[in-house]
Structure 1
């Protein structure tokens, strides 16, 4: 277990005595030189914190269900029914319950600790995930599909928010943008790997295999993270005499970010369904996962750069700016008419995904009240997943009614709406909330790091 200590200062020691003389030729030469080692050193220093490689990688494994279950449910249900409308509705139900339950799991973890609650959640997740697949494959009543999809979604806590809470507990404020950017990159790696994997498993082996593989990854990652008690954030039991706790969570900043993320998530949910339908129309269903991975690939590149960049402006300005860029990039989807064009537009649109997610997360974390960090971060994911629900359902209906090519209007319009919502909420972001508990809270780290 870690001990209470001052926040980690992620600054490298001088590499040579020449750095003691900032105007020397050696120092000027070093200052002007750029190498991969120096460029990526902020990321390397993140993993100097004991336990961080392990909890971050466990979180990577635990997040694989995010792209695999929604897409896996679409492939499974569409394969059984032939209806993208039904497939989108079931997938949306799973995402909806996941989004609504996420903050409840997070609140329980803030109060009782991540490890204790995670073990319970993973047991329920494994049981309900297998039951859902069994009901669909066995031809059970349609209502049971929706019920079990909802239970499976509700059993899965948002692992990304748990990992970000651990980073916030062991880093000082200046290092958190790099950590959050790295986690955004991890999210995109998940979305690069997950869609092709689940598509190949579902099309080359059998549709249930894709979904069940996602469940297996989620349980393995969740239990591995639960075993790492030494890097857990501090527990904050609720004071029954305290008042205004709901108000401390649902701040104006959080509401603006969550509402904007509703539209951002609608883009994500719609893209999943429309791209699968479009690839099928083009006679290349097996390539749908690769096409979806292109969006994540663009976001991965942008996330790496954003984590290293010194972006001008306040966190609020960055959030609004990145949301507007996201909305503008989504408009490229109007011109998609072939798979090569989809890949080009998808990569360009993907370049704006990580920045808007990192900036929103950083903004919320910078203004969070003490004791509700995990829950606050989980609410941002709830906004995204509720949007995914709406996007899946709307896009499924649009594909059935208009065809997949015209259905690209759904994610394009949702992207524009995200930009408008961020601009409209900018006035609420001007004044920060008074509570910035985690920005000044002591980190829990190992003694050998802090001395």
Structure 2
């Protein structure tokens, strides 16, 4: 019996040894942990703002509009911050955005609690959302710089997808408990402060940041067109994928309430994220056949097919099982797309390239939430499961269209800009 347990332990160590090797890279533990805390707001600010505004006003319509403003502002601004990071370095931009995020977030909470004019709520929500940088892309670009081997980078990107899922499993219930048991602003502020601290710590870890290309006076600098057809294809696939995430949050909450067990929504959504976590761990250690493009296509089709099981949901136990099944297809598609971006975008613009894909997800989440809310009102919660199922099918179809584009290599460097002009990395 003891030998059997020893063999099982050895087998587990062998399976997960690629993850252990990641953290033998100098500085990897520090920047990965700091990045984990810095990304907490991505799972808490939207929900925290809903709980804050709804708690202060009782209006979920107003709360949803505020949360949408935060998300859309982040989607528009985060690629611009990423471009600046690629031009001047990650550390100064991380410091600026963390401090700006703190000030604007506190101002937003203050004006809501003080019942200030509604236009100020929206204005500060927009400025707060625009102050956030996409930390997931920052950390992934550090891994890409640190790891010379493509298989190691796949493992690192899988680990980061798992880190994302851990945030989405653990943070929303914590925010909800804080808002309910302490005060409506508590959940929002906790996520905000954790993100600011993580961002400031990450900004101090300059040794692991990707280097900035040095300019030589009088020499032209290449202008990099980041939004190539291939990157757009991946970002649009992620947009459809994001619509599933946004829709399923709303529909699951509505279905659990309709079934008389609203607390079960948290269990179902955590199971959805847990399925992605398990698949992400497995994808990171598997050595799959085929090219990056073919893997992306296969993962997009799998994502589209797995979510069709949502049409079968007619009870909470079925929902939990289907959620786990559908969740298994999330992380593989995220990792496949990020790996493709990393392989095609020049290092000088990698943070921006990775951020554009996350922007697609963010816009999709906002659209999916709005569509699902209307569907729940019109069709009932059970019928509204058609929205995330159709969104997933669309992601599969867009993935096929993207595959046709991605088979052709991109040519990102399109021009040379004189050194005396503002010829930064542009899209």
Moved more, 397-406 or 57-66: 397-406
Asked whether the equivalents of residues 224 and 412 of structure 2 are also in contact (C-alpha less than 8 Å), the reply is no
Residue 264 to residue 392, structure 1, CA distance change in 2 (3 Å): same
Q: How many aligned residue pairs are there?
A: 403
Given candidates 92, 99, 104, the residue that maps to 1:128 is 104
Deviation digits for residues 39-75 of structure 1, max 9, x if unmatched? 1111111100110001001111111111111222233
Asked whether the equivalents of residues 138 and 351 of structure 2 are also in contact (C-alpha less than 8 Å), the reply is yes
Q: Give the corresponding residue for 1:276.
A: 253
Q: Give the corresponding residue for 1:91.
A: 67
Q: Give the corresponding residue for 1:53.
A: 29
Q: Give the corresponding residue for 2:315.
A: 338
Q: Give the corresponding residue for 1:226.
A: 203
Q: Give the corresponding residue for 1:78.
A: 54
Deviation at 1:80, TM superposition (A): 4.1
Does residue 1:143 correspond to 2:110, yes or no?
Answer: no
Residue 339 to residue 81, structure 1, CA distance change in 2 (3 Å): farther
Moved more, 329-338 or 427-436: 427-436
Q: Give the corresponding residue for 1:245.
A: 223
Deviation at 1:178, TM superposition (A): 0.7
Q: Distance in 2 between matches of 1:49 and 1:164?
A: 14
Residue 314 of structure 2 aligns to a residue whose secondary structure is coil
Deviation at 1:84, TM superposition (A): 4.1
Q: Give the corresponding residue for 1:22.
A: none
Q: Distance in 1 between matches of 2:176 and 2:50?
A: 10
Deviation at 1:243, TM superposition (A): 7.4
Does residue 1:43 correspond to 2:15, yes or no?
Answer: no
Residue 410 of structure 2 aligns to a residue whose secondary structure is coil
Does residue 1:213 correspond to 2:187, yes or no?
Answer: no
Moved more, 404-413 or 228-237: 404-413
Q: Give the corresponding residue for 1:444.
A: none
Residue 207 to residue 270, structure 1, CA distance change in 2 (3 Å): farther
Deviation at 1:369, TM superposition (A): 2.0
Deviation at 1:315, TM superposition (A): 0.5
Q: Give the corresponding residue for 1:167.
A: 143
Q: Give the corresponding residue for 1:108.
A: 84
Residue 394 to residue 87, structure 1, CA distance change in 2 (3 Å): farther
Deviation digits for residues 325-369 of structure 1, max 9, x if unmatched? 111122222232333222211111111110000000000100112
Residue 49 to residue 120, structure 1, CA distance change in 2 (3 Å): same
Residue 245 of structure 1 aligns to a residue whose secondary structure is strand
Asked whether the equivalents of residues 74 and 273 of structure 1 are also in contact (C-alpha less than 8 Å), the reply is no
Q: Give the corresponding residue for 1:327.
A: 304
Q: Distance in 2 between matches of 1:314 and 1:376?
A: 20
Deviation digits for residues 150-197 of structure 1, max 9, x if unmatched? 211111100000000100111013211111111111111111111221
Residue 400 to residue 134, structure 1, CA distance change in 2 (3 Å): farther
Moved more, 107-116 or 339-348: 339-348
Q: Give the corresponding residue for 2:243.
A: 266
Residue 399 to residue 140, structure 1, CA distance change in 2 (3 Å): farther
Deviation at 1:382, TM superposition (A): 0.6
Moved more, 332-341 or 423-432: 332-341
| Aligned-pair Cα RMSD in Å | 2.2
Does residue 1:386 correspond to 2:359, yes or no?
Answer: no
Q: Give the corresponding residue for 1:154.
A: 130
Moved more, 217-226 or 127-136: 127-136
Asked whether the equivalents of residues 64 and 194 of structure 1 are also in contact (C-alpha less than 8 Å), the reply is yes
Residue 242 to residue 276, structure 1, CA distance change in 2 (3 Å): farther
Q: Distance in 2 between matches of 1:286 and 1:197?
A: 13
Deviation at 1:291, TM superposition (A): 2.5
Asked whether the equivalents of residues 327 and 415 of structure 1 are also in contact (C-alpha less than 8 Å), the reply is yes
- The TM-score normalised by the length of structure 2 is 0.89
Q: Distance in 1 between matches of 2:37 and 2:372?
A: 28
Structure 2: give runs of 5+ residues left out of the alignment: 1-8, 414-427
Residue 220 to residue 262, structure 1, CA distance change in 2 (3 Å): same
Deviation at 1:387, TM superposition (A): 0.7
Deviation at 1:203, TM superposition (A): 2.6
Equivalences for residues 324-403 of structure 1 within 5 A = 324-403=301-380
Residue 143 to residue 334, structure 1, CA distance change in 2 (3 Å): farther
Q: Give the corresponding residue for 1:12.
A: none
- The TM-score normalised by the length of structure 1 is 0.84
Structure 1: give runs of 5+ residues left out of the alignment: 1-32, 437-451
